[in-house]
Each structure stands twice: as structure tokens, then as C-alpha cells.
Homo-oligomer: A and B are copies of this chain.
């Protein structure tokens, strides 16, 4: 019996009970084809002796294996590996499954690894950064959020909050969001027009998947948001690009495309065109809405940083003037508060929202109602409004300072227009200064900037975010930039 016992490695110092170690070791060996179907197992007494443990432990292990169907007992003749098990193929199932390091085998079946989707990702870093235009997460109302979360959880064991929730978002947040969008953006919406998501990305994904089919035409700016382009392309739709000037998308070019192609969707960031930050003026907005009416396409309006504007009140979103149900409007609290606060929204005609909820159900079931309820508390208590006011003031000051510094320190190599809002400057570098090389050098000195290739590799231009850096950091960063140019 010594041979059999040798197959079993047991460790008395482990947390897993001994009987379970034994039963698992035996079933592993059966699976791996080392112990074959029909083989007789040693008696409990003999095995207990070989292993130097109490017999009861082996009995418990055998009972476990019996209950799991690995073995069977035959009256008076003993215990056997079940004959119902199919013939083992040790060559196929030989790997010992106790691996705790290394990533294991590759997938043993084909899958569609789309090279289109392989991109580097932006992650948090503690390095100083003039980033893509993100908020200063140090300003965000984290204590209030933490309190709100506790409040939500302490509202007693409200089953309906701790269970599954609505496909469209926590009702309290849908209502608060509708009020907020009406008040800040003039959007004529009610709860039925709103789906709470976890960020704009899902807004783009759901819209694309409901509206687009392979071969459909989507219009985007010549320079635009790359992730959105990917999402459209993944549906099989065809991208057609129009020029972008200092007033945003060229609406005449859009009209020309519409005459010849079945356009289904136009992606637009009219408040601050991404990445160039320019604002689309009223006449182009109206022109775009009229085209949508004439050709029945969807305008996907991504209002990623509406909340921050410094020189005048913002032009109201296209969605506010959309009497014909042509606009899908999407945004999030990512830029308003923090990318870590995973709350976004889609505003659209109610029939489309209904379908979006049903589609979202097979992707992600629902949102996070606890977090959504907590954010609704922030809205209700005015925390969100207070935060936005504070941030708006801070970012306004930072924009002014940043643009002054950029002008005084780097105007010999950088061309830019002071943005009227948002959180970044679109900086065009002199061709003599290679942005990719500059980014590497700056990083070595402790400053992260994008090398611009993600926007358009030919432009030698990049977004320099000013919102997330305070005055001292801004000076330091600008010093590094100046030093490495």
C-alpha cells in the first residue's frame, strides 16, 4: 500500500482539512489517469497506517469521494474507482493542477483576437502629468461620497436596494440626473430619457450596437476620439471623415456625404471638439440638426467636459434643441469628479432608452445601485453642485496661468489657442521639436505628456491638461518641458 500512499501528498500544517486533502489528491490522480477506473483502493486502516494518520480521516475522505461519485463500494469486496468513469487519457490530462505561479496553458480553442483593439492603456500614475484633460481628483468630494455610501447602506435592510435593480439605473439617481441635466444644460428630459451607465464608453457602445450594422456609414471628424472610432468600427460600420477647423466639424462636408451615402450616425463633441478643444458655433449646430432631420441619422453628442467653461456660459447642447428625436447625448461624472467614480449617463428618446436597457441587460445586467444611490445623495445634498463650483473656479485660474506660462516659456515652439473651457490645451509643436522624443525625455525628468501619436501621428500636436495640476506642479512641469526642448 506504500505505493498508493506515495501518490498522495498531504500537509498537516495546511488549513485545508486532512480528509479533504486526501480526497482531492485521489480524485486528482483519477482525473489525471494515474489511478484507473475499476482500480481497487486500499482499505481505510491500511491507508491510515501508511499515511500515519487516524483511520477516521481516511473514512471521511472515502465518504467524500463516494458522495462525489468518484468511487463505489462493493459489499464485502472493498472500495473501487467507479467503473462509470470513461477511460482516462493520461497524455491529455496529465498536467498537475496545483500550479500557483505562471499563467498556465494558452486557450485550447480558437477565438477572435482583434488586433484593432490592442492599444496601450492610460492608467493612474503618481508621476506629475499634463494629461489628456482629467480633473484634479484631490478636489473631489470623497468624504461626502463615503458618508453617502454609508447612509445608503444604513437605510436599513431595504431589500429592493440590496437585490437586483432596474436595468436603467437607480430611480433616485435617474431623477436627480434628469433635474441636473435640465438645469445645467437645458435638456428637455425626464427620467424616461435617461439610462445610467458607468461611463461614456457604454453610451457609445450601446448606441453603436443599436443603430449600426456592417456597411453602415458613420461620419467622424478627421481628427476625433480614437476609442469612439474603434467602437463604431467594431460593429462593421464604415467611417467617413470630414475636416475639422476652428469651428469644429465641417457641416458642409457632412451635407455632401449625406447626398451620396446612407449615413446612420454622426459622432460629435460640439462643446469642445476632441481633441482640438474648439467649440462648434450655433449656425453649424443648427445645420447639423437640419441634416439629421432631412436624412434621419443619429447625432451622437459626446459632451465629455461640458461642466467647465470660463469665458461665457456654454452653448447649450444639440440635445436641447432636438425636437425630432435625433440626438443621443452621453456624458459622465468622470471629468466632473474623477475617472474612478464610475457613473455616466445616456440621454435619448424614451423608445431608444428602452431598447438600450434591454441590450445592456445581456452585457452587464444592470448598474451598481449602491453607488448610484450614494451619488443621488450627493446630488440631493448639493455636494455635487458645490464641488463643480469650486472646481470651475480652480480650473479657470489654472487655465489662465497655464496659458500664460505656455506663452511666456514655450511660445517659440508651441502654437495654441486659449480654450474657452474644458481641461486641456491643444498644443501644436514646431516640427523641429519631435513630440515622441520630447515625451520620452520629459518622462525621464518626471513629467508625463502624451506624445500626440494617439491623436494624429502627423500633426506633432498634443493635449496638455492643466486641470489636475496646482500652481507649484504647473511651474515644475513647465520647467521640465522647457529644459528638455
Contact = CB atoms under 8 A, between A and B. Distances in A.
Given A153-B145, A159-B137, A321 B31 contact: yes
B105 A323 contact: yes
A69 B281 contact: yes
A260 interface: no
A256 interface: no
Contact of A153 (B143, B231, B348, B351): B143
Contacts of A472: none
Contacts of A69: 281-283, 315
Given A111-B352, A355-B113, A94 B323 contact: yes
A358 B123 contact: no
Contact of A264 (B109, B298, B322): B109
A146 interface: yes
Nearest to A92: B293
Contacts of A205: 362-364
Nearest to A83: B283
A202 interface: yes
Contacts of A411: none
A432 interface: no
Contacts of A153: 142-143, 145-146
B363 A160 contact: no
Interface in A346-382: 348-352, 355, 358-359, 361-371
Contacts of A88: 286
Interface string A76-116: 00000010111011001111011111111111111111100
Interface residues on A, range: 35 or more
Nearest to A162: B137
B163 A338 contact: yes
Contacts of A431: none
A195 to B, nearest CB: 13
Contact of A189 (B27, B104, B213, B297): B104
B368 A368 contact: yes
A201 B123 contact: no
A58 B127 CA distance: 47
Contact of A323 (B20, B93, B183): B93
A150 interface: yes
A416 interface: no
A193 interface: yes
Contacts of A125: 159-160, 163
A111 B353 CA distance: 11
A450 to B, nearest CB: 14
Q: Which of A134, A199, A283 has the most CB of B within 10 A?
A: A283
A397 B154 CA distance: 28
Contacts of A192: 103
Contact of A283 (B85, B164, B265): B85
A66 to B, nearest CB: 8
A103 B188 contact: no
Interface string A120-132: 0111111000000
A9 interface: no
Contact of A324 (B105, B213, B297, B371): B105
B68 A282 contact: yes
A180 interface: no
Interface in A16-47: 16, 20, 23-24, 27-28, 30-31
25 contacts: A31-B282, A67-B312, A68-B281, A68-B313, A94-B323, A98-B188, A103-B350, A104-B193, A105-B323, A106-B351, A111-B211, A114-B355, A117-B355, A118-B358, A123-B163, A124-B159, A124-B160, A125-B160, A140-B162, A198-B368, A201-B363, A227-B362, A231-B362, A340-B370, A363-B363
Given A104-B350, A118-B358, A122-B164, 16 more contacts: A20-B313, A30-B282, A64-B312, A68-B281, A69-B281, A69-B282, A93-B324, A97-B186, A99-B188, A99-B189, A111-B211, A117-B362, A119-B361, A146-B154, A162-B338, A201-B362
Interface of A: 15-16, 20, 23-24, 27-28, 30-31, 63-64, 67-70, 82, 84-86, 88-89, 92-95, 97-114, 117-119, 121-126, 134, 137-138, 140, 142-143, 145-146, 149-150, 153-154, 157-167, 182-183, 186-190, 192-193, 198-199, 201-202, 205, 210-211, 213, 227, 230-231, 234, 264-265, 281-283, 286-287, 289-290, 292-293, 296-298, 311-316, 320-326, 338-342, 348-352, 355, 358-359, 361-371
